Structure 1
Amino acid sequence: MPLVDMPLDQLKQYTGSNPRPDDFDEYWERALAAMQETDPQVELVRSEFQVPYAECFHLYFNGTGGARIHAKLVRPLHAQKPHPAVLQFHGYAHHSADWADKLIYASLGFTVATMDCRGQGGNSEDTGGVKGTTHKGHIIRGLDDHPDRLLFRHIFLDTAQLAGIVMNMPEVDAERVAAIGGSQGGGLALACAALEPRVNRAAPSVPFLCDYRRVWEMDLARDAYEELRTFFRHHDPQHLRETEIFEKLGYIDVRHLAPRIRGKVMMGVGLLDTVCPPSTQFAAYNAIGSEKRMEIYPDFVHERLPAFEDKTIQFLLEM
């Protein structure tokens, strides 16, 4: 089997290399307290797009830092009440996509909420000094500021806030809510399950946002992680702050959040992935203490994994 990373037996034991800040737990407890103090002011706006068996809405809520967050919400019309729900998260710089890909779950009796990450390709705000999109550069946003101002801190909190909003809907069974997504969406599904431990199941594929130092050590700070190299070139060209930078990134490393997950996890990984290296994904997976399984695709890169979506549907129907 060709290798771009460690052999599989080593991947199954790898625990990561990015440092974990000493005050990591206090950091996230403080962050969650700020989220809980934020009045979400939830608004549902009926969409022009509708289908006979479900209602489609634009869902808006206030996130931390004053941003107004947008998600697409699809609610089945004839499902049992209360019924399960699924939270979908998208890839880096993309958006919540068409209504059509939510209808599969709605047809199975799930409420579906798909969040636009703030400042990326959808309709959520980035309140970092401008209105509208900032598209990329979100991993490094806040590295020259206090750790509380890291942008992905807010994005991770948005996922947890969305989960709580959906769980509080009277038609939703709060004990049967799942989180799914690929790439950035996979990382966010794990972060959501970590920060809102009531999430029953998580099904991430090829997750992003894990073990940043390992990406750097493998000389793979390009593609989705290119901004790490750009940051060093412009702001620390001699790497005098390298230890500090990676420790600060540790606050938003999904690997360090993963032990908080209580729900069941099914993760998909391609062993030839050079965008989000397999070792970074295994670092997060190996940190999960709840029931879990890894679906391994030896010949696949950073791409859609065959039958993984079908496996995800079956996994969620078992809730």
Structure 2
Amino acid sequence: MPQLDMPLKQLQQYEGRTPRPHDFDEYWEKALEEMRATDPAVELVPAPISVPYAECYDLYFTGVKGARVHAKYLKPKGLQQPGPALLHFHGYSGSSGDWYDKLPYAALGYTVVSMDCRGQGGKSEDVGGAIGNTLRGHIIRGLDDAPEQLLFRHIFLDTAQLASIVMDFPDVDPDRVGATGWSQGGALTVACAALTPRIKKAASVYPFLSDYRRVWEMDLAKDAYEELRIYFRLFDPQHKREDEVFTRLGYIDIQNLAPRIRAEMLFGVGLMDSVCPPSTQFAAINKVASPKRLEIYPDFGHEGLPGLHDKIFQFFADL
């Protein structure tokens, strides 16, 4: 069988290469304190789409550092008691997308909320404010500033704050909330489940933002990870700060958050994925201590994985 990365047996034992900062847990506890102290000032605006079984809204809330974050919100009609909810996160540079692909869950009585990441393809606000490079890439945004200025810190917190908002909705049972996404969305699913232990189930497909040093060592700092190469070429051309840089990135490496997860997990992995290499995904997967299930596609890369949407739909059916 063709092989891009390690053999599967080795992948299942792999623990990652990116350093974990010594104050990692303290860093995220302080971040969560900042999030909890932020008034979300939730605003709901009726959306120009009509279906017989759900009300659709544009939802806005204030995240850390004052950014207004947008999400699509679908509220089922006719609920007799609080029901399940599903959080959806999109791929890198994308957006929450059309209403269409959220409607099947709403038809089943699920509240569905799909977030736009700051500064990417949707309606959320990027307030900036970090010293250093802002030209290319969100991974490296804030890398030359204090660790508290890393942009993905803020985006990870947005997922947790949105989960908290949704869990407070009167139509939602806070113990029946799930999360899902592919690529960057898969990474945000991991982050959300890690920072919100009450998440019940989560489905993450070929998660991004994991094991940055492994990506670099595989010479795959291109495509979605190209900004790693750009950063070194512009700001550390002789790699004198390489250890420092990868340690700093460890704050926003999902493999370091994964041990916090309590949700039941489903992971989708393509073993020929050259965008998010399988070993980087397994670095996070192997650190999840809660029940987990893997759907492995040996011949597939960073692309559609046949039948997986149906499997994810069934995975959430008992929420």
Identity score, percent: 65
**For 2:135 and 2:51, how far apart are their aligned partners in 1?**
31
SS of the residue aligned with 1:230? helix
What runs of 5+ residues in structure 1 fail to find an aligned partner?
none
**For 1:225 and 1:158, how far apart are their aligned partners in 2?**
22
Residue 242 of structure 1 corresponds to 242
Contact 1:88 1:115 in 2 (8 A): yes
Residue 28 of structure 1 corresponds to 28
**For 1:13 and 1:24, how far apart are their aligned partners in 2?**
23
Tell me: CA distance 1:136–1:108, structure 2 relative to 1, closer, same or farther (3 Å): farther
Q: Map of 1:94-105 to 2, 5 A cutoff?
A: 94-105=94-105
SS of the residue aligned with 1:154? helix
Select between 80-89 and 263-272 the one with higher mean Cα deviation: 80-89
Tell me: CA distance 1:193–1:299, structure 2 relative to 1, closer, same or farther (3 Å): same
Question: What is the one-letter code of the residue matched to 2:198?
Answer: R
Deviation at 1:129, TM superposition (A): 4.5
**For 1:228 and 1:271, how far apart are their aligned partners in 2?**
22
Residue 284 of structure 1 corresponds to 284
Deviation at 1:201, TM superposition (A): 0.6
Question: What is the one-letter code of the residue matched to 2:289?
Answer: G
Contact 1:93 1:136 in 2 (8 A): no
Q: Map of 1:105-144 to 2, 5 A cutoff?
A: 105-129=105-129, 137-144=137-144
> TM-score if structure 1 supplies the norm length?
0.97
Contact 1:119 1:135 in 2 (8 A): no
Contact 2:185 2:207 in 1 (8 A): yes
Deviation at 1:309, TM superposition (A): 1.0
SS of the residue aligned with 1:225? helix
Contact 2:178 2:316 in 1 (8 A): yes
**For 2:45 and 2:160, how far apart are their aligned partners in 1?**
21
Contact 2:270 2:301 in 1 (8 A): yes
* Two-structure CA RMSD over aligned residues (Å): 1.1
Deviations 1:164-218 (A, max 9, x none): 0000000001000000000000000000000011000110101100000000000
Quick check: 1:12 aligned with 2:12?
yes
Question: What is the one-letter code of the residue matched to 2:118?
Answer: R
Residue 42 of structure 1 corresponds to 42
Contact 2:79 2:171 in 1 (8 A): no
**For 1:178 and 1:306, how far apart are their aligned partners in 2?**
22
Paired positions, count: 316
Residue 180 of structure 2 corresponds to 180
**For 1:72 and 1:304, how far apart are their aligned partners in 2?**
23
Residue 162 of structure 1 corresponds to 162
> TM-score if structure 2 supplies the norm length?
0.97
Residue 311 of structure 1 corresponds to 311
Contact 1:5 1:279 in 2 (8 A): yes
Deviation at 1:80, TM superposition (A): 4.1
Question: What is the one-letter code of the residue matched to 1:307?
Answer: G
Question: What is the one-letter code of the residue matched to 2:202?
Answer: A
**For 1:198 and 1:102, how far apart are their aligned partners in 2?**
22
**For 2:150 and 2:194, how far apart are their aligned partners in 1?**
18
Question: What is the one-letter code of the residue matched to 1:231?
Answer: Y
Question: What is the one-letter code of the residue matched to 2:278?
Answer: P
Deviation at 1:79, TM superposition (A): 3.4
